């Protein structure tokens, strides 16, 4: 273990690449539509001639810090930098609008750093048990976990669970547009080759979040853009406030970090599930769940911790079994090959020092990225304090460029326009938007898991012991959460009545 | 306009259309969308009924000329990019928006500066540094 650290510290090139990877990775995270996968693809041409250790450290660090960088546009502009950042946008941007953007960014950075460290620790500790855990979770459990995510987002959607579930079902249906992967059947494509590829996640997220927020800001409404609340504390005070928030919610940070790492280990679940699962958990365990979506700092801390810890967990199947835990990890797997690394069961015995150096690089890059985000929090806060209508045209263009980069298809801009109109209507009428995105993200995974479960076990797949346990947990959690939300909103109404 | 009702009706229409198309597929292809559309249709019906029962729409539920103007500005951005691409169309859009948006944001030189930033970013940052060629517009050769 320490051999890996000394190998990393003794190699100046590897250390230099680590420090180059951090700003590059953060920048890729900060531009919506780019993200970790594009970052890895973009650097692949430069990897071929690199030293094995330096190349590995560069790739691992680059991919690890993407979510930390994504926190900046997510919180300050309300534009989710990456898919999992959608879990942070509601509360993070609400805090920024209340003049507490530095506090939210500081809490996000510290939670990300801690999450990354715990993910690394899990990666280091879990190796002997990883195979057993992966065998325990199969398609039925993946199917139920995806339902878990949609159910939570609907319950957290505000006054009407029916509206949340309707929007979630719509998101699921939109996820099924395109060529069905098993039989290759075109589904709901209306004969168009653009719809044949399905609706890209970046298009949907930007249409549902960024564009509607900017449309409201363009109207000069107070609902988006420049902070509307009183500025609570100066920058330094807010930085300390973010730290205090993480200390106050230390057990939540710890729990979400461990949950994120465990979700990361399960191949196919990915960061979106980790982030939303932890957002739901943060709301469920909060004393004031009714504040979620309106600027609850726990809604930032939970998903941010999970986003980064998931990276450590996802490396377990990728490195030790050669099974990528997510599409990003699949690209990482491909990028490691030109360096002469063959991920798989024999990697630890053949290259133990290299594996531990990668583990240390993961930990170090998370700490440095968290520090960089804290340092950048105050300058970034100025962006949030700009007159929102000044940003509007640039954000329209940035959103459109992100969609074009992700799909390389100009007709996707028309899809963006249609979905933006829907997003605007949902925002204007206070309908929840998160369940749509969750449905869209989890739709393909839910379908694959459902069909495979039915093929392997028949309808009896729901009665497997782990499935029964998950179903019971799902219903109990949703029931408990909705009860707490009802109590919370009643208490809030009473409070408002007293204040009035 | 009752936006809640319109939203519920739109969702219900999409779910119903999906359900109508499903019998053409084999069960493995139709099952998941069928479940989503079936459940969604029932829920959209419930939400629609609730919206009908509420007789009076809240004032914020009504859409006015402000909404129309905002949406038109977005449509203009989309049109400019689709026709003239990100560099030229985007630059012209930012220039026009800075100059004419309500409330007025900038005078002519500032607006021109704001607009000029866009082609620079598109060609230098995206084109040269990141090697990403952004869309050049229908009129300029795609």
- Among A251, A307, A270, A303, residue whose Cα is nearest residue A119: A307
Q: Mutate which of A397, A404, A413, A456 to test chain B, going by most B C-beta atoms within 10 A?
A: A397
Residues 6+ apart with CB under 8 A from A320: A127, A130, A343, A344, A345, A347, A348
* Domain identity same for B70 and B115: yes
Put simply, the answer to whether A393 touches B37 (Cβ < 8 Å) is: no
Query: Which of B16, B33, B61 is the endpoint of a domain?
Result: B61
CA distance A498 to chain B (A): 24
Asked if residue B20 belongs to a domain, the reply is yes
Pick from A219, A387, A401: CB nearest B70: A219
CA distance A219 to chain B (A): 6
SS3 of chain A: helix, strand, coil, percent, to 5? 80, 0, 20
CA distance A415 to chain B (A): 11
Pick from B29, B63, B101: CB nearest A187: B29
Q: Kindly state the tokens that stand for A250.
A: 């230390």
* Domain identity same for B105 and B92: yes
* Domain identity same for B73 and B56: no
* Domain identity same for B124 and B72: yes
> Can you give the residue range of the structural domain that contains B18?
3-61
Q: Mutate which of A33, A45, A393 to test chain B, going by most B C-beta atoms within 10 A?
A: A393
CA distance B90 to chain A (A): 7
* Domain identity same for B53 and B90: no
Put simply, the answer to whether B134 touches A417 (Cβ < 8 Å) is: no
* Domain identity same for B46 and B90: no
Q: Mutate which of B62, B74, B107 to test chain A, going by most A C-beta atoms within 10 A?
A: B74
Query: Which of B19, B37, B61 is the endpoint of a domain?
Result: B61
Q: Kindly state the tokens that stand for A121.
A: 């620790």
Strand pairing partners for A186? A179
Number of domains in chain B: 2
* Domain identity same for B77 and B47: no
Query: Which of B42, B61, B80 is the endpoint of a domain?
Result: B61
Asked if residue B110 belongs to a domain, the reply is yes
* Domain identity same for B46 and B94: no
Q: Determine contact, residues A77/A32, Cβ cutoff 8 Å.
A: no
Contacts of B46 in chain A (CB under 8 A): 162
Q: Count other Cβ atoms within 10 Å, centred on residue A232.
A: 14
Tens-digit pLDDT string for chain A (500 aa): 667 677 777 788 888 888 888 888 888 877 765 667 767 776 766 776 778 888 888 888 888 888 888 888 888 877 777 777 778 888 888 888 888 888 888 888 888 888 888 888 887 776 666 556 656 667 887 788 777 767 766 766 556 778 888 998 999 999 999 888 778 888 988 888 878 888 887 788 778 877 887 888 777 543 444 444 444 455 667 778 888 888 888 899 999 988 888 877 766 566 677 787 788 888 878 888 778 877 888 888 988 888 888 887 777 777 776 666 666 776 777 777 777 777 766 676 677 778 788 888 888 888 888 888 888 777 766 665 666 667 788 888 888 887 888 788 888 899 999 999 999 998 888 888 878 877 887 788 788 888 888 888 888 888 888 788 878 877 787 777 666 666 655 555 554 454 44
* Domain identity same for B125 and B83: yes
Minimum CA–CA partner of B46 in chain A: A162
Asked if residue B138 belongs to a domain, the reply is no
Pick from B3, B28, B118: CB nearest A429: B3
Put simply, the answer to whether B47 touches A446 (Cβ < 8 Å) is: no
Asked if residue B134 belongs to a domain, the reply is no
Q: Kindly state the tokens that stand for A482.
A: 């909705």
Pick from A180, A405, A413: CB nearest B78: A413
Q: Kindly state the tokens that stand for A91.
A: 């509360």
Q: Which residues of A459-491 are buried (b: 16+ CB within 10 A; e: fewer)?
A: eebeebeebeebbeebeebbeebeebbeebeee
* Domain identity same for B51 and B82: no
Put simply, the answer to whether A176 touches B28 (Cβ < 8 Å) is: no
Asked if residue B103 belongs to a domain, the reply is yes
Q: Kindly state the tokens that stand for B66.
A: 């402000």
Contacts of B14 in chain A (CB under 8 A): 170, 173
* Domain identity same for B19 and B57: yes
ipTM: 0.90
Peptide linkage before B103 cis (omega within 30 of 0): yes
* Domain identity same for B107 and B83: yes
């Amino acid at each position: 273990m320490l051999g890996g650290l000394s190998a990393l510290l003794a190699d100046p090139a590897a250390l230099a690449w680590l420090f180059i990877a951090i700003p590059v990775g953060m920048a890729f995270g900060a531009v919506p539509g780019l993200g970790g996968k594009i970052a890895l693809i973009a650097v692949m041409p430069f990897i071929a001639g690199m030293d094995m250790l330096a190349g590995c450290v560069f790739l691992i660090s680059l991919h690890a810090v993407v979510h930390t960088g994504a926190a900046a546009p997510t919180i300050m502009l309300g534009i989710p930098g990456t898919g999992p950042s959608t879990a942070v946008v509601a509360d993070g941007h609400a805090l920024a609008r209340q003049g507490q953007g530095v506090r939210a960014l500081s809490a996000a950075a510290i939670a990300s750093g801690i999450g990354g460290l715990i993910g690394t620790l899990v990666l280091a500790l879990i190796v002997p048990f990883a195979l057993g855990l992966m065998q325990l979770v199969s398609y039925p459990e993946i199917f139920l976990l995806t339902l878990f995510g949609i159910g939570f987002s609907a319950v957290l959607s505000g006054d009407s669970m029916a509206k949340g579930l309707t929007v979630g079902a719509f998101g699921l249906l939109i996820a099924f547009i395109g060529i069905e992967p098993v039989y290759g059947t075109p589904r709901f494509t209306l004969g168009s080759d653009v719809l044949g590829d399905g609706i890209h996640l970046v298009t949907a997220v930007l249409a549902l979040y960024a564009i509607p927020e900017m449309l409201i800001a363009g109207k000069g409404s107070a609902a988006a853009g420049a902070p509307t609340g009183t500025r609570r504390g100066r920058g330094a005070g807010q930085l300390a406030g973010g730290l205090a928030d993480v200390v106050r919610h230390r057990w939540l940070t710890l729990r979400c970090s461990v949950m994120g790492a465990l979700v990361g280990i399960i191949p196919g679940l990915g960061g979106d599930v980790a982030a939303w699962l932890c957002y739901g958990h943060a709301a469920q365990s909060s004393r004031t769940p009714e504040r979620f979506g309106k600027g609850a700092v726990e809604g930032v801390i939970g998903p941010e911790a999970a986003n980064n810890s998931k990276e450590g967990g996802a490396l377990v199947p990728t490195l030790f079994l050669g099974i990528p835990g997510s599409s990003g990890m699949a690209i990482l797997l491909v990028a490691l090959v030109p360096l002469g690394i063959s991920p798989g069961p024999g990697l630890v015995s053949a290259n133990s020092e290299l594996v531990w150096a990668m583990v240390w690089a993961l930990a170090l890059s998370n700490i440095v990225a968290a520090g960089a985000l804290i340092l950048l929090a105050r300058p970034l806060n100025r962006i949030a304090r700009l007159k929102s209508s000044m940003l509007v045209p640039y954000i329209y263009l940035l959103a459109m460029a992100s969609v074009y980069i992700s799909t390389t298809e100009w007709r996707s801009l028309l899809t963006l326009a249609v979905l933006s109109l829907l997003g605007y209507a949902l925002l204007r009428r206070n309908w929840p938007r998160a369940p749509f995105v969750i449905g869209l993200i989890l739709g393909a995974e839910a379908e694959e898991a459902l069909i495979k479960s039915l093929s392997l076990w028949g309808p009896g797949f729901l009665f497997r012991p782990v499935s029964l346990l998950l179903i019971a947990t799902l219903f109990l959690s949703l029931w408990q959460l909705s009860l707490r939300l009802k109590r919370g909103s009643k208490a809030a109404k009473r409070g408002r009545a007293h204040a009035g | 306009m009752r936006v809640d009702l319109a939203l519920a009706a739109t969702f219900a229409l999409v779910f119903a259309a999906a359900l109508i198309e499903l019998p053409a597929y084999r069960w493995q292809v139709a099952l998941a969308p069928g479940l989503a559309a079936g459940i969604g249709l029932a829920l959209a019906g419930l939400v629609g009924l609730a919206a009908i029962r509420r007789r009076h729409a809240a004032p914020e539920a009504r859409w006015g000329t402000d909404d129309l103007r905002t949406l038109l500005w977005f449509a203009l951005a989309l049109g400019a990019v689709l026709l003239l691409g990100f560099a030229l169309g985007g630059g012209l859009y930012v220039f026009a928006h800075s100059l004419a948006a309500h409330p007025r944001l900038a005078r002519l030189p500032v607006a021109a500066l704001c607009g000029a930033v866009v082609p620079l970013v598109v060609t230098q940052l995206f084109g040269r540094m990141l090697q990403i060629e952004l869309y050049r517009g229908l009129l300029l050769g795609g």
